[in-house]
Chains A and B, each alone.
Chain A
């Protein structure tokens, strides 16, 4: 893995001071070795994560009497363990989708408001508050979502099912006793990932060169047109990667979901009914009461979650790279 030496020829894009091709001092060798060792240890950790998860997951999967990919139930702690991830993946995808649908447009709006609408004097303070909110621990959001928000959303649940019930997703089959539903989870997740998406997007919008904005304004663009012509296209890769960062958080969020959702293993598209569960929340809920195989099964589901986050990040990278040709080469 590490065949390169510290004195290897610099690639053109590297701007680090070029190392002279002279004899390497012992101090330099030790120091650069330590630095490289740290980098390698980071790779080793990642490799170990993948390997250990796979090994422990295969242990449990080999004992699985059901089909891991298609079974809807989760009974790994019995004499005949049978478990599948369909329900878990479904719940994870649905709650994250709801969260993204709400959070991304609002976060972009917040970032635009702070960078282009708010008076300059308070803009910095507003940005700072958003940064602080991004640091509020998820367990606090969970507590708030469970105790404060969920009861308040009961009305919205019945309203949506009354008026939009003809759309299957909004059809509510159970009488409304609790709002600890996938829909509420989606809203809580949206609130949680909003600050991080807004914070990253704001940074990107601040980097839009003043020259591009002035070019648009000098053409007689209104403020919104200037944003549409100069700010949004320039910021698009940044918006996408910020969204993916948020999506990654939403998909992997454990404790808030575990606290807010009233889980069940009945796969249901009715997001206004209690039920469904997510991969991460299921791990938190089941771990304590699981035996060896059960924990292996949870690790297997964790591996699926890991792969999902890898796909999300990979997708973001592809989108960003594809737009490189049109990125600000002269800025």
Chain B
């Protein structure tokens, strides 16, 4: 495991006393490899994701973007046989350190999945409150307040406020995905990971989610995987291009930079080819 960076020093170890703490966090990845069994899916990734900004991952299918994003909240290792080495530091604290509780990591780093996955047996209200109830928030008044705030935060409140007790699965696809975002932000994570959040949605819902991302980045470090290059261009501040070194080879980070630069003047030829639609 690589050593963590100097940020630890100037941020201080007790994040509770830091007024900036609990706002957004910088993610620094260094030398990260991810495996499925003995197969290496992602190789030697080092990059930084800045707070209060959106970092987009683009690249052809199977290049390890989704695998990589799942290493950022330790979801990857839940797949049987999967493993990770390297380090992911959240404001200097290595998520893969031996003293770290993966469950606590997932509370801090929220995730929105490719397909909307509201709990089918729960109402809209209960879906948003699910994480809160687990965290021990039981008082009705508190729950009501946070559920409303989260649904407003996800731009869903006006659409569902009259049917909070209806099943979450009864909403449209785009609404379900915003419900999932509301559920993720209800527990106040510091980072929000989005794994192709619009790939199962229609253009109008996609636009709604993109607007939402623009608002959410005021408060969260956002990382988004997308297949859609226009989307990356629209929503992200930084863009990272991933590619396979060759067939059967692990995925690698080709380059990362300001979105404008990546889309107008990429350093690497393969990035330019991909953006121009010559492969992928």
Contacts and interface: CB of A to CB of B under 8 A. Distances in A.
The answer to whether A and B come from one shared complex is yes
Contacts of B63: none
Interface in A203-230: 209, 211-212, 214-222, 225, 229-230
B169 A215 contact: no
B121 A215 contact: no
B236 to A, nearest CB: 21
Contacts, number: 91
Contacts of B169: 326, 328-330
A211 B118 CA distance: 9
A329 B180 contact: no
A234 interface: yes
Interface residues of A, number: 27
B104 A220 contact: yes
B130 A212 contact: no
Interface string B100-116: 00011111101101011
A220 B116 contact: no
Contact of B120 (A214, A216, A225, A330): A330
Nearest to A219: B131
B106 to A, nearest CB: 4
A221 B134 contact: yes
Contact of A234 (B106, B121, B130): B121
Interface in B84-127: 103-108, 110-111, 113, 115-122
Given A328-B169, A329-B169, A329-B170, A215 B180 contact: yes
Contact of B78 (A214, A233, A327): A214
A216 B167 CA distance: 17
Candidate in B104, B119, B167 with the most chain A CB atoms within 10 angstroms: B119
Given A214-B113, A215-B113, A225 B121 contact: no
A323 B115 CA distance: 24
B104 A233 contact: no
Interface string A108-133: 00000000000010000000000000
A219 B134 contact: yes
Contacts of B118: 215, 330
B121 A326 contact: yes
Interface residues of B, number: 34
A229 B116 contact: no
A230 B78 CA distance: 16
Given A214-B75, A325-B167, A331 B103 contact: no
Given A218-B111, A220-B134, A221-B134, A327 B121 contact: yes
Contacts of A323: 121
B201 to A, nearest CB: 13
Nearest to A323: B121
B32 interface: no
A217 B78 contact: yes
A214 B82 CA distance: 15
Interface in A282-331: 323, 325-331
A63 interface: no
A216 B184 CA distance: 10
Nearest to B187: A219
Contacts of B238: none
Contact of B75 (A217, A234, A331): A217
Given A218-B106, A218-B184, A221-B106, 10 more contacts: A120-B81, A211-B117, A214-B75, A215-B119, A218-B73, A220-B106, A327-B120, A328-B121, A329-B120, A330-B120
14 contacts: A120-B81, A211-B113, A214-B75, A216-B130, A219-B134, A220-B103, A221-B106, A234-B121, A328-B121, A328-B169, A330-B116, A330-B118, A330-B120, A331-B120
Interface of A: 120, 209, 211-212, 214-222, 225, 229-230, 233-234, 236, 323, 325-331
Please give me the 3 A-B residue pairs with the lowest Cβ-Cβ distance, nearest first: A220-B107, A233-B121, A219-B131
